[in-house]
Amino acid sequence: MKILVAVKRVIDYNVQIRVKDDGSGVVTDNVKMSTNPPDDNAIEEAVKIKEAGKANEVVAVTVGDDKAQETVRKALAVGADRGILVKVDGTVEPLAVSKVLQKIVEKEKPDLVFMGKQAIDDDCNQTGQMLAALLNWPQATFASKIEMKEKSLEVTREIDEGLETIEVNVPAIVTCDLRLNEPRYASLPNIMKAKKKPIEQINASDLGVDVKPRIEQIKVEEPPKRKAGIKVASVEELVQKLKNEAKVI
């Protein structure tokens, strides 16, 4: 069994996001970048499955600019066997990413594709689903538990009502929730070894995929500032204000 894991380079979750003056996007200069957090869970799960002897290769793939290579390198340091960087400049939308991944799947022929349930930068939560549609594969999204069966997976999904357990046939797409596992630390010796693992570089254009954005972004702006709170003297006043001013009850 071979598992392909898609990872994305995003602004680190600790960084306070700043909107550019001209409203054209968010500031990424001088900003710490990291692997999208649920992608770390996806890699961890794939590596665990390999360690349990149920998979023989884990391949990490990312779509992005040259620096996205760091994200692949990180995946290699925690146990992926080799990496693929599909080079694209500028913004790539989920549809373009899923089309690129479709081509990679056709080339690599994995049995499973794992990725985070969504990326914390655009919060689209679409790539996995669209890839499933393009490949006509079953999908298990928001996975918080994965059990390997003979030719299928039993996946527990985090849904609004609670937990849902489904069974999907392999090959399948799984998008991973943060509850799936606790990603391991990359150890120093493994970081060293990761430097020697191969990363194949492919241009998106060579795959025949048109990655031009389909969505026109009009403006990015900060959410309105929260107003300062006030103190009320009594419960009556609170109720009155909630009714008449805030109009929430």
Partner 1 sequence: MSRETMEYDVVIVGGGPSGLSTAIKLKQLNSNLNVCILEKASEIGAHILSGNVFETRALDELLPNWKDLNSPIKTKVSKEKFLFLGKKRSLSWPTWLLPSVQQNHKNYIISLANLCRWLGEQAEALGVEIFPGFPASEVLYNNDGSVKGVATQDMGIDKNGDKKDSFEPGIELLGKVTVFAEGCRGHLGKELIHKFDLSKGKDPQQYGIGFKEIWEIDEKNHEEGLVMHTAGWPLDNNTYGGSFMYHAENKQIFLGYVIGLDYKNPHLSPFDEFQRFKTHPAIKKIIEGGKRISYGARALIEGGFQSLPRMFMPGALLIGCDAGTLNMPKIKGSHTAMKSGIIAAEAINEHVTENKDLSIFEEKLQKSWLYEELYKARNVKPSFSWGLILGIIFTGIDQILFRGKLPFTLKHKHADHETLKSAEEMPRIDYPKPDNVITFDKTSSVYLTGTNHVDNQPVHLKLKDPNLPINYNLKKFDEPAQRYCPAGVYEVQKENEIYKFVINSQNCIHCKTCDIKEPSQNITWVTPEGGGGPKYGNM
- Does 67 participate in binding partner 1 (rule CB under 8 A)? no
**What minimum distance in Å lies between the beta carbon of 72 and partner 1?**
16
Least distance to partner 1 from the beta carbon of 182, Å? 5
Please identify, using beta-carbon distances, which residue of 32 and 151 lies nearer to partner 1.
Answer: 32
Q: Is 183 in the site for partner 1 (CB under 8 A)?
A: yes
According to the binding rule CB under 8 A, does residue 184 interact with partner 1? yes
Q: Give CA separation, 7 vs 75, 127, 164, in Å.
A: 8, 11, 25
Strands laid side by side in the 162-169 sheet: 162-169, 152-159, 139-148, 172-176, 112-116, 2-6, 57-64, 82-87, 199-203
Residue with tokens 């006509």: 136
Does residue 189 touch partner 1 according to CB under 8 A?
yes
Residue 12, interface with partner 1 (CB under 8 A)?
Answer: yes
Which one of the spans 23-31, 49-57, 59-67, 94-102 is the region binding partner 1 (CB under 8 A)? 23-31
Cis peptide before 213 (omega within 30 of 0): no
Q: Does 187 bind partner 1 (CB under 8 A)?
A: yes
Tokens representing residue 243 in the block: 């009714």
Nearer to partner 1, 192 or 238 (CB): 192
- 234 is a contact residue toward partner 1 (CB under 8 A): no
Instruction: State how far the Cα of 86 lies from the Cα of 83, in Å rounded to an integer.
Output: 10
| Site size for partner 1 (CB under 8 A) | 20
CB 116 within 8 A of CB 10: no
- Return the range that interacts with partner 1 (CB under 8 A); candidates 101-109, 116-124, 183-191, 238-246: 183-191
Among the residue ranges 87-95, 177-185, 208-216, 233-241, the one whose residues contact partner 1 (CB under 8 A): 177-185
**Least gap, CB of 58 to partner 1 (angstroms):** 18
Cα–Cα dist 28/33, whole Å: 9
Q: Which of 1, 15, 124, 178 binds partner 1 (CB under 8 A)?
A: 15
Q: How many residues does the chain have?
A: 249
How many beta carbons lie within 10 A of that of residue 69, not counting itself?
17
Q: Which residues in the 156-175 window bind partner 1 by CB under 8 A?
A: none
Cross-strand partners of 153 = 148, 168
Told to check if 185 binds partner 1 by CB under 8 A, we report: yes
Q: Which of 73, 102, 130, 148 has its CA nearest to residue 4?
A: 102
The answer to the question of residue 14 lying near partner 1 (CB under 8 A) is: yes
Q: Which is nearer to partner 1, 72 or 86 (CB)?
A: 72
The strand pairing partners of 87, in sequence order, are 64, 203
Binding site for partner 1 (CB under 8 A): 12, 14-16, 18, 21, 29-32, 34, 182-185, 187-189, 191-192
